[in-house]
Structure 1
Amino acid sequence: MPSPSLPTSPVADPGAVVAGDRWRITVLTEGLVRLEYAEDGVFEDRASTFALHRRQPVPDFRVVDQGGHLEVVTSRLRLTYDKGPFTTSGLSVAVLGAVTNYHSVWRYGQDTPDRNLGGTVRTLDEADGAIPLEPGVVGRWGYAVLDDSRSFLLTDDGWVAPREGGRTDLYVFAYGHDHAEAVRALYAVSGPQPVLPRWALGNWWSRYHPYTADEYAALLDRFAASGIPFSVAVLDMDWHVTDVDPAISSGWTGYSWNRDLFPDPGAFLDDLHARGLRVTLNVHPADGVGPHEDVYEEMCAALGLDPATREPVAFDVTDAAFLTAYFDVLHRRLEAEGVDFWWLDWQQGAHSRIAGIDPLWMLNHFHFLDAARDGRRPLTFSRYAGPGSHRYPVGFSGDTVVSWASLRFQPYVTATAANIGYGWWSHDVGGHMFGAKDDELATRWVQLGVFSPVLRLHSSNNPFMTKEPWAYAPEHAAVQTEFLRLRHRLVPYLHTMNHRAARDGVPLVTPMYHRWSRHTEAYDVPGQVAFGSELLVAAVTTPRDRAAAVAPVRAWLPDGVWVDVLTGLVYDGGRQLVLHRDLASVPVLAPAGALVPLDAAEVPADDPVEPTWLEVLVVVGADGAFTMVEDDGTGDGRDESRVARTPLRWDQAAGVLTVGPATGATGFLPAARTWTATFLSVADDVAPVATVEGAAVEPVVARTAEGHLRVTVHDVPVGAVLRVGLGAAPTLRPNDVAGRLHRLLDAAQAGYELKRRVLEVLTSDRPLHVRLSHLAALDAPPVLRAAAEEIVLARASA
């Protein structure tokens, strides 16, 4: 079997257990209890696919036993139980301090799916819009239940075993509106998300297409010439032989290079690595190993089979001997040639030769363990296999239909996946199959991909379905190119959030209600997400209005002042609103005090290594702090001796940005870096100065077209302290209402006289209510009118 194994601590501290002959209650945390019932009085202490770590610090709780029933009380919940078989009347958990006393009570057997805020789904194969989701561990009424009764078990020797039926094993999460803490409790019991390799956060190129080695090289040459970076090359199934006798195999499974397409696989892989890309190969393992495979005889020898029979070696993931040979013979020889990780494309359902054992979970688990051998940082690429799957990223969500409905569903399903701890979804950006060519749809999907956990372009085996930006009209090609560059520029921020996800239990993408759980509005914006600690993103998932040339998106801004990172428009928060964006933009909003580190290169490299030139976006108006995290790429990313941290601090009263010094394992960082501080929409009355280690230096200062101030200081040693000052208490500049209205109206497909009148009315010096009522009387197209109102009403000072 593969090694190493995941660490487990499945037996709870006896001090956390309250038990009878047939029932057992384990208080895992103040908001999480495990409830078991077994007629034979035998309880399960082995790890399950979900629960690896039931041994948690014993929380404060008290037991009130009144003979006929008992109560277990913590600071978050009150459990009431009649000590008999679990029933609706005999077992309940009340959430303390929750939404309402009436609704916030879970009762055993009471079906309340409408109260769960949703988790994720095994696959989006053939989905054309919204589909039902499996439950998560957070609920609108303060509780959620995870039924672990039918999962299978991990044995002490690292193998698996099915459960015996007839036993109830439930985990009740009773965290009220503290949704983020409920997810952290899930990680505590199930294990954390791992740290992804830095390169996994760049762009992935994937297409189901029979490339030759020369065609693939030519494609990458054109990407490079176009300034479009990619960090991962995904080869779909045509990398291997697919033209196989149907009596032997379907052709979907294969482990032998197609030499007609790739005459020298080693040289091909070496070329991809020399370009700075990592490589993953698609594998459909269900057909086993046929006699046509290069390693058929070796596989037979490993399993004691007679190759003279020419019988296929059956795939059996529940056979430890087969699984050992599966890795040793089939995969490691290809990894030795240069394959970095595997795309596990299992589509054959949840059943194996042992009842209750899910082959998808087995593949994810053991591939991940095998990928971690020799101290390497593991990565798999596969479908979701139920609670606990967050331990085996990255997720492949499946073959969606090309449609606006599919696009509209993806920000929602990506965010709700955080409710079950699944933080690293990768979708087929642009959709996989069917549908029709729609340049705008493709462009909006790329924009969503940039602000998703993993960006992977992909499409089905159709000569007309391709995702290269130059396959679209020039306007769309330019926007897609710019956003694909932006994804690589975001890697310093993304990699910090990658470490935060593993260390603090906060996925990169979360629903708004994880941070603003007591605001009703946070539940009403399914397409809006928190993208890391500093940004909110509202995906544009509808076409542009023809008259206004912008697309509307409904959003909610919490209290405070917010700046759109891409447009520079400043908003007052504390309200719901409709935002409007042209093709070149989506709402990406940062609050006062936000600090966002970026790769400063206009065209970043394919391999997103630690940059020598960094840019920090700064929103003035409130204090801010951010610690950029980098690591040397070795090990699992958790070893502090391999991690470097660079603190960024904004002092609003003093008007000073402080960068550094970098601490920790700085040996892998550039000896010196250039830093650009970009102050978003800052007022003009500032006087930038800079010091390095207290000594004055002359910065390079420039204003951008969006009104941002850029202050650049070259050659700052990584161990030094850089300070960039603007003067005391700098403010944001007023929105250029007239200029923004002119640009909006100029692009609008509307009458010239109407546009002139709208501009005159909205830029007059008359009171705001007079201007808006006059606008209403002009009979402007509805979306154009709303977009103009958005600009005027963005800030109260308008």
Structure 2
Amino acid sequence: MLKYRQNKYDPVAADAAIVKGEKFRITILTPSLVRLEYSESGIFMDEPTQVVLNRSFDPPAFITAERNGFLFIETDSMLIKYDKKAFTPYGLSIRAKETGSLWHFGCENNDYEVMNNLGGTARTLDSVDGETEIGTGLLSRLGWSVLDDSSSLVIKEDGSVAMREQAEMDYYFFAHGHRYLDCIRDFYKLTGETPLLPRFALGNWWSRYHRYTQEEYQELITRMEEEKVPMSVAVIDMDWHLVDDVPARYGSGWTGYTWNKKFFPDHVGFLKWLHEHGLKTSLNIHPADGVRGFEDCYEDFARAMGMDPVKEDDIEFDMSDPLFTENYFKYINHKMEEEGVDFQWIDWQQGTVSRMEGLDPLWLLNHYYFLDAIRNGERNIIFSRYFGPGSHRYPIGFSGDTHVTWESLDFQPYFTVRASNVGYSWWSHDIGGHTFGYRDDELEMRWYQFGMMSPILRLHSCDMEFLGKEPWKYPEPVCSAMKEVLRLRARMVPYLYSMNYLTYKEGMPIVTPLYFEEPERSEAYDVRNEYYFGTELLACPITVKADSVTLTAPFSAWIPKGAFYDLTSGIRYRGGRRAVLSRPLTEYALFIKEGGILPLDMDDCPKGDLPLPVGLEIVIGGGKDGSFTLYEDDGLKAEPAEEDMARTLISYDHVKGRIVVAAAEGDRSALPAKRDYTFRIYGVTPASKILSVSGTDDLTSSYDSQKHILTISVKGADTSSDLEIICKDMADADNDLFGALYTAIERMQAPFYFKQQLLGILKEKGTDPIVLSEFAALPDMKPEIMRVLSEIILA
């Protein structure tokens, strides 16, 4: 059961990479990554640990020398100075060459070093209202970081864990300077890649801590279908099992594995019904109390443990016991799978104490559950909590129960993007907030929008009467806007799945901070909540209330170099500058870069199981050439090679007005034979003529003169052949600033005479930036109005 993937571990470093003394060993893994060990026994550990799996890197070039009792080791990226004794601040130091910063052993815990560290993530947001401490990550403006692996347990050949036979100091030093993505990729190589998620995980999840009956849950899903709200995952919280009906002698019903027949009289039929409606299913479990005498599985489990089931003694939860672990999966998890459960929500809240010294039960649960989930080589996930570096190997992460407040929403984008600094991509938050807080329709709308541009979108709340997240419980226009956000998220799956593959294969987190791309720009560090959402999109989630005059909420952004198109308005924003972005309630700040290519499902409400689309909408940011590789497959293999994926290269030549969808390469067996395409090119003038050079002659086009978007539709293109389209005489288009300003002024809650003044100035003076001085001079001008007008005119 536990052996799957163990052969992928390659923990023994090459001899040529090692510099060794009587009690120390230094392993140069890459020019920027070194392992530092000290052991009084002179015995060193070469097994994989809970964090580190692979040390067999190609040995880099380095030189060694000894002077005045010190050993010096130099690579292209660092200079190590070491006195060959037990590690001390004086005796061990490393200079990171790219930044010139010097590390002394242990100084990473000093205030200055912690201040310059760019942060990591946290185990949970349970009961957090606003911010919480996130700890340190692998990236620092000083150009170095340290990973202490001294206390990690080792992983044995069968996948079980054991204490180290010898105590030793075991550290990894990263000296990547400001090459942040290189650092994360070396970390992945050291600790293991992020698994490829199944396609369903990227759609919309429904979850609520609520005592649903089988009938109620089916009515909910049916209503979702009627309202055209796409859902791909149905999470059933803890009341699926016996809770209040547990006999008093057994204590709390928090842990349970027996279906509550009052709520789910035919749970197998219910799970089958969900599958028929295209949904995968997960059950919430709290395993801390073990298996007790009232459980349906108890008798078989107890006999397998060598216990007398008649006595009804509790079977203690102990994943460090191989016999318990084997029987736990056999009699509980595998039975659930046979009945139709797709994956588990492991909701461990019981701390870090276990029978084995140093073993965090959460780590072992995640490790065993994930190995078991993919034991047959088939792709799957678990849903659990973060335990520290290396957690990326066990996706997906449940961040915990936050409060329903603006402060909590404002923290979640920051929390999500900083997790990339420790290689953790797949956070799932309680979108909309879990408990407490207050009713605020604007807050819920903004949380939905953030969820749409999050790694995982999972709606969740507690059992309070008025906390449901169903869109139809909110008034218009919020209800319709929520539905549109959920539909867009489902339509984004072709893009998200390709990003999912890049995370797995190329070590590219789906959410990355701006300083990954512009590490020498101080502004890239200042924008806490802004991030790249995959390779093509820039996300600026709104997390504050709108003002009462302009009816817009602000976001202080750094627009990176280049140019970006607002996906909702079509406005082109020049990059390399700060800007305050203002958006009304039903609009969000999500941008496609110039030359960016965003593939969407053409279906306006994709089915729950998110099949490969038979029609694609390809959104293109004009102004620059670009290309994008669309990755698709049957979703079955846990670790597909590149040849297992269908790879479709989509390219755009801006000067020539040329779009090419190349014939799919690799395994095309899962692709539809033919596809319809709609291309939407932002920021261009109409083409005088549009030609289909190859692929199909069934072509139509239209043009949005306000947003400057050229739309081209193609029917029945063969996926095994190139599709080429040429747009003749197409050029860059200027923003329709007057139209955008008129819309903003019309929306303003201001005196009519004042609005008329603004319009009159625009009609007389035009939209040149000089007009801002006239606006500013108006006696009734307010800062929030000036903010909105300035953004548009200076775009």
For Structure 1 versus Structure 2, the TM-score category normalised by the shorter chain is over 0.9
Identify the residue that residue 304 of structure 1 maps to in structure 2: 306
Identify the residue that residue 759 of structure 2 maps to in structure 1: 759
CA distance in 2, matches of 1:231, 1:530: 25
Structure 1 residue 3 displacement after superposition: 3.8
Q: 1:459 aligns with which of 451, 458, 461?
A: 461
Alignment of 1:188-267 (within 5 A): 188-243=189-244, 244-267=246-269
Identify the residue that residue 282 of structure 1 maps to in structure 2: 284
Q: Which amino acid aligns with 1:760?
A: G
Contact kept, 8 Å, 1:10 with 1:54, in 2: the verdict is yes
Contact kept, 8 Å, 2:385 with 2:397, in 1: the verdict is yes
Q: 1:578 aligns with which of 577, 580, 584?
A: 580
**1:106 and 2:108 equivalent?**
no
Identify the residue that residue 723 of structure 1 maps to in structure 2: 724
Identify the residue that residue 170 of structure 2 maps to in structure 1: 169
Q: Which amino acid aligns with 2:268?
A: G
Identify the residue that residue 34 of structure 2 maps to in structure 1: 33
For residue 689 of structure 2, give the secondary structure of its aligned residue in structure 1. Answer: coil
**1:154 and 2:155 equivalent?**
yes
CA distance in 1, matches of 2:59, 2:625: 37
Shift of the 445–165 alpha-carbon distance from structure 1 to 2, 3 Å rule, reads farther
Identify the residue that residue 789 of structure 1 maps to in structure 2: 790
For residue 524 of structure 2, give the secondary structure of its aligned residue in structure 1. Answer: helix
CA distance in 2, matches of 1:463, 1:598: 36
Contact kept, 8 Å, 1:364 with 1:382, in 2: the verdict is yes
Structure 1 unaligned blocks of 5 or more: none
Identify the residue that residue 409 of structure 1 maps to in structure 2: 411
The C-alpha deviation readout for 1:478-515, integer Å capped at 9, x for no partner, is: 11110000000100000000000011000100111112
Q: Which amino acid aligns with 1:554?
A: S
Contact kept, 8 Å, 1:180 with 1:506, in 2: the verdict is yes
Q: Which amino acid aligns with 2:37?
A: E
Identify the residue that residue 688 of structure 1 maps to in structure 2: 690
Q: Which amino acid aligns with 1:751?
A: P
Shift of the 189–686 alpha-carbon distance from structure 1 to 2, 3 Å rule, reads farther
Contact kept, 8 Å, 1:762 with 1:792, in 2: the verdict is no
Q: Which amino acid aligns with 1:754?
A: F
780-789 vs 428-437, which moves further: 780-789
Contact kept, 8 Å, 1:690 with 1:699, in 2: the verdict is no
Identify the residue that residue 444 of structure 1 maps to in structure 2: 446
Identify the residue that residue 736 of structure 1 maps to in structure 2: 736
The C-alpha deviation readout for 1:736-787, integer Å capped at 9, x for no partner, is: 1121111111111111111111222244336845421111122322112111
For residue 688 of structure 1, give the secondary structure of its aligned residue in structure 2. Answer: strand
For residue 791 of structure 1, give the secondary structure of its aligned residue in structure 2. Answer: helix
Contact kept, 8 Å, 2:344 with 2:382, in 1: the verdict is yes
Q: Which amino acid aligns with 1:499?
A: Y
Contact kept, 8 Å, 1:369 with 1:378, in 2: the verdict is no
CA distance in 2, matches of 1:229, 1:529: 26
Identify the residue that residue 23 of structure 1 maps to in structure 2: 24
358-367 vs 73-82, which moves further: 73-82
Structure 1 residue 97 displacement after superposition: 2.2
Alignment of 1:553-632 (within 5 A): 553-632=555-634
The C-alpha deviation readout for 1:5-59, integer Å capped at 9, x for no partner, is: 4321111111111111111111111111111112222222111111100111111
Q: Which amino acid aligns with 1:317?
A: M
RMSD: 1.5
Q: 2:349 aligns with which of 335, 347, 351?
A: 347
User: Please, what TM-score do these two structures have when normalized by structure 1?
Assistant: 0.97
Structure 1 residue 193 displacement after superposition: 0.4
Q: Which amino acid aligns with 2:732?
A: L
CA distance in 2, matches of 1:5, 1:643: 20
Q: Which amino acid aligns with 1:604?
A: P
Contact kept, 8 Å, 1:509 with 1:530, in 2: the verdict is yes
Identify the residue that residue 777 of structure 1 maps to in structure 2: 777
CA distance in 1, matches of 2:374, 2:208: 27
Shift of the 715–766 alpha-carbon distance from structure 1 to 2, 3 Å rule, reads closer
Identify the residue that residue 699 of structure 2 maps to in structure 1: 698
Q: Which amino acid aligns with 2:315?
A: V
Contact kept, 8 Å, 1:620 with 1:731, in 2: the verdict is no
For residue 47 of structure 1, give the secondary structure of its aligned residue in structure 2. Answer: coil
Identify the residue that residue 338 of structure 2 maps to in structure 1: 336
Structure 1 residue 599 displacement after superposition: 0.3
For residue 181 of structure 1, give the secondary structure of its aligned residue in structure 2. Answer: helix
Identity level (%): 43
Shift of the 343–766 alpha-carbon distance from structure 1 to 2, 3 Å rule, reads closer
Identify the residue that residue 390 of structure 2 maps to in structure 1: 388
The C-alpha deviation readout for 1:400-437, integer Å capped at 9, x for no partner, is: 11111111111111111111111100000011111011
**1:399 and 2:401 equivalent?**
yes
Shift of the 155–763 alpha-carbon distance from structure 1 to 2, 3 Å rule, reads farther
For residue 715 of structure 1, give the secondary structure of its aligned residue in structure 2. Answer: strand
CA distance in 1, matches of 2:618, 2:146: 42
Identify the residue that residue 431 of structure 1 maps to in structure 2: 433
The C-alpha deviation readout for 1:615-671, integer Å capped at 9, x for no partner, is: 100112111010100011111142334310111011122110101211111111111
80-89 vs 316-325, which moves further: 80-89
Identify the residue that residue 144 of structure 1 maps to in structure 2: 145
Identify the residue that residue 477 of structure 1 maps to in structure 2: 479
Q: Which amino acid aligns with 1:525?
A: V
Identify the residue that residue 715 of structure 2 maps to in structure 1: 714
**1:291 and 2:293 equivalent?**
yes
Contact kept, 8 Å, 1:644 with 1:666, in 2: the verdict is yes
CA distance in 1, matches of 2:257, 2:496: 34
Contact kept, 8 Å, 1:283 with 1:344, in 2: the verdict is yes
CA distance in 1, matches of 2:669, 2:309: 52
CA distance in 1, matches of 2:687, 2:278: 44
Shift of the 331–157 alpha-carbon distance from structure 1 to 2, 3 Å rule, reads closer
Q: Which amino acid aligns with 1:701?
A: S
CA distance in 2, matches of 1:292, 1:444: 45
Identify the residue that residue 2 of structure 1 maps to in structure 2: 2
Contact kept, 8 Å, 2:446 with 2:543, in 1: the verdict is yes
The C-alpha deviation readout for 1:374-404, integer Å capped at 9, x for no partner, is: 2211211000011111000000000111111
CA distance in 1, matches of 2:572, 2:694: 31
CA distance in 2, matches of 1:164, 1:704: 72
Shift of the 247–657 alpha-carbon distance from structure 1 to 2, 3 Å rule, reads same
Identify the residue that residue 117 of structure 2 maps to in structure 1: 116
Structure 1 residue 471 displacement after superposition: 1.3
For residue 373 of structure 1, give the secondary structure of its aligned residue in structure 2. Answer: coil
Contact kept, 8 Å, 1:249 with 1:290, in 2: the verdict is no
Contact kept, 8 Å, 1:199 with 1:232, in 2: the verdict is yes
CA distance in 2, matches of 1:654, 1:421: 39
Structure 1 residue 706 displacement after superposition: 3.7
CA distance in 2, matches of 1:5, 1:637: 10
For residue 376 of structure 2, give the secondary structure of its aligned residue in structure 1. Answer: helix
Contact kept, 8 Å, 1:563 with 1:619, in 2: the verdict is yes
CA distance in 2, matches of 1:704, 1:217: 45
Contact kept, 8 Å, 1:256 with 1:293, in 2: the verdict is yes
For residue 382 of structure 1, give the secondary structure of its aligned residue in structure 2. Answer: coil
CA distance in 1, matches of 2:622, 2:296: 62
Structure 2 unaligned blocks of 5 or more: none
Contact kept, 8 Å, 2:512 with 2:532, in 1: the verdict is yes
User: Please, what TM-score do these two structures have when normalized by structure 2?
Assistant: 0.97
630-639 vs 299-308, which moves further: 630-639
CA distance in 1, matches of 2:513, 2:248: 47
Contact kept, 8 Å, 1:163 with 1:356, in 2: the verdict is no
The C-alpha deviation readout for 1:532-568, integer Å capped at 9, x for no partner, is: 0001101100011111100000111122221111220
Contact kept, 8 Å, 1:637 with 1:643, in 2: the verdict is no
CA distance in 2, matches of 1:686, 1:792: 29
Identify the residue that residue 367 of structure 2 maps to in structure 1: 365
Contact kept, 8 Å, 2:233 with 2:281, in 1: the verdict is yes
CA distance in 2, matches of 1:16, 1:387: 24
Contact kept, 8 Å, 2:701 with 2:710, in 1: the verdict is no
